[in-house]
Amino acid sequence: MEEDLISYFKQKMDVPQHDIREYSPLALAYIGDAVYDLLVRTAVVAEGNCPVKKYHKKVSSIVKAEAQSRLIHALMDDLTEEEADIYKRGRNANSYSKAKNASMSAYRHATGFEALLGYLYLTERYARLADLIAIGKERVQDQESDENVVGR
């Protein structure tokens, strides 16, 4: 049976193992941002072929700080105590940058969300990572549908 990509890559590149507790919340967010972006790009490309500019526009709308902030708020009741702690550490981390076109509040929530994704990725909890994204996406879509009905 073929080995999964991550394990194979780590072996081939001789990636050292580190205690996850050694990573700062911003390091977790850094890797979580990349993981989320790759997963969203994978899903968007799977929807069908189109110009790259359209892919970029759709992916950007999903991975922007405001969208991530909505997603994590929709998930808060589903997080374990450990996951909520990781999220809060990321949200409260002192970042010296701010996302373009996002409020500081949304940026901080998005950073917490990315830290959680980075933590789940680095601890190889891939199913949980995917489940949280799927649950959050569904809830946000439901909320947006409800808002559109009320707004009519």
CATH code at position 113: 1.10.1520.10
Q: Catalytic residue numbers? A: 33
Range of the domain at 62: 21-145
pTM of the model: 0.90
Say if 13 falls within a structural domain.
Answer: no
Say if 27 falls within a structural domain.
Answer: yes
Say if 8 falls within a structural domain.
Answer: no
Say if 151 falls within a structural domain.
Answer: no
Say if 150 falls within a structural domain.
Answer: no
The more confidently predicted of residues 125 and 146 is 125
CB–CB of 83/116 below 8 Å? yes
**What's the pLDDT at 1?**
44
Domain count, the chain: 1
Say if 92 falls within a structural domain.
Answer: yes
What is the mean predicted confidence (pLDDT) over 55-63?
A: 94
What is the mean predicted confidence (pLDDT) over 95-111?
A: 85
Work out the end-to-end distance of the chain between its first and last CA atoms, rounded to an integer number of angstroms.
53
Rounded to the nearest integer, the mean pLDDT of the chain is 91
Say if 126 falls within a structural domain.
Answer: yes
Task: Using the predicted structure, report yes or no on whether residue 99 has a pLDDT greater than 80.
Answer: no
Task: Using the predicted structure, report yes or no on whether residue 121 has a pLDDT greater than 90.
Answer: yes
- Give tens-digit pLDDT for 1-54: 456 888 888 889 998 888 888 999 999 999 999 999 999 999 999 999 999 999
Say if 16 falls within a structural domain.
Answer: no
- Nearest alpha carbon to residue 109 among 134, 89, 126: 89
**What's the pLDDT at 112?**
97
**What's the pLDDT at 150?**
62
**What's the pLDDT at 48?**
94
Query: Where residue 152 falls among pLDDT bands split at 50, 70, 90?
Result: low
